[in-house]
Amino acid sequence: GNDFDTRTTKQIYNDLKKTDKEVSVKVAPTAYLKLGDLEIYPLSGVSNSKTVYQNENGYYMIYRSDRYGFNNPDEEWDSEEIEYLLIGDSFAHGAAVNRPDDIASQLRILSSKNVLTIGYSANGPLTEYAALREYAPKNIKNIIWLFTENDIRGLGYELENKILIKYLKNLKFTQTLKSRQEEIDRLARKMMSISSNKVQKFEFFRFLKIYEIRKLLLKQDQISEIYSLKNPTELIKILRLTKEYTENIDAKFYFVYLPYEKFFDKNYNLSNYEGIKKIIKNLNINFIDINNVFDREDNPLDLFPFKMAGHYNPDGYRKVAKEIFDLTI
């Protein structure tokens, strides 16, 4: 009984291309993880382009990317001061909703100030830290790390990437990505072309997430081992470096835990949540627990698309943004 756009990603891409030749689809940084011969590792998508993401709420998420390929109004980069800078994965990207329903847009409305997100679909902790090093302006008041437990599942792959690992080994390392957007655009469009030829329905782009890649490459017991947080050494190091980075630019650092897995994974392990909380407490990082938002709901599934597994719906994103705003003002 609900309106739902039944077109595939390829169909809507082709429809949009009839009036906009520069339209693109989301190409996540994880698309490059296993390509070891690259001279550059992009941390964003195609710039200044109408970009098609997936459909979870009955309509396609479509946004115009900024000068660096992120989901922001481009003029936000010209601001003298940034109230909030968001890092993270698809939740920071704004997956499944259009502006102004994403977290970054809602924080702009609530604060009446400038907000940037450099989050991107399927990012893991090392990619998020690298994006901070490459793109963060120096005039930031609050850095918000939006975290879901599946972020850590791809950390093993990130640590094996010859470019990403340099961000941990050398605190002065940079790819100078802000000045290399033309290279990033060309590479992303090449990935679009290759994947369009290989995958008839364009589902590569619709479901290009570490979760999907992981299922193809790992056995279930290996997945559980990576996800168990039994050896959090590298995650702790990344968090510590992120905290030090924020302190060096006189910003405040907030770690925001976004619940998701526990609602849809019958094998969900509460110890992962407790382990993350303990790590954040030991590092003396500000912790915002969005479980509190869901606990106030009569039915937490009301905050998900059609009460099904997915990213949050507009109401869910708005409530998350309100909690962040209330706890950071």
**Cα–Cα dist 227/45, whole Å:** 27
Look up residue 249 and give its DSSP letter: T
- Per-state percent for the chain, helix, strand, coil, to nearest 5: 50, 10, 40
Question: What confidence tier does 228 reach under pLDDT thresholds 50, 70, 90?
Answer: low
- pLDDT at residue 226 tops 50: no
As a whole-number percent, the residues of the chain with pLDDT over 90 amount to 81
pLDDT tens, residue by residue, 66-91: 999 999 999 999 999 999 999 999 99
- Helices 210-217 and 220-227 cross at an angle (nearest 10°) of 130
In terms of DSSP H, where are the helices of the chain?
9-17, 90-93, 103-111, 125-135, 155-160, 166-169, 181-198, 203-206, 210-217, 220-227, 233-248, 261-264, 270-282, 291-295, 314-326
Question: What confidence tier does 328 reach under pLDDT thresholds 50, 70, 90?
Answer: very high
- State residue 106's pLDDT score: 98
- State residue 231's pLDDT score: 77
- pLDDT at residue 202 tops 70: no
Whether the full predicted model's pTM is greater than 0.95, yes or no, is: no
pLDDT tens, residue by residue, 111-125: 999 999 999 999 999
How many residues are given for the chain?
Answer: 329
- Helices 233-248 and 270-282 cross at an angle (nearest 10°) of 40
Question: Which range has the worst mean pLDDT, 74-83, 100-109, 203-212?
Answer: 203-212
Q: How many Cα atoms sit within 13 Å of 221 on the Cβ side?
A: 0
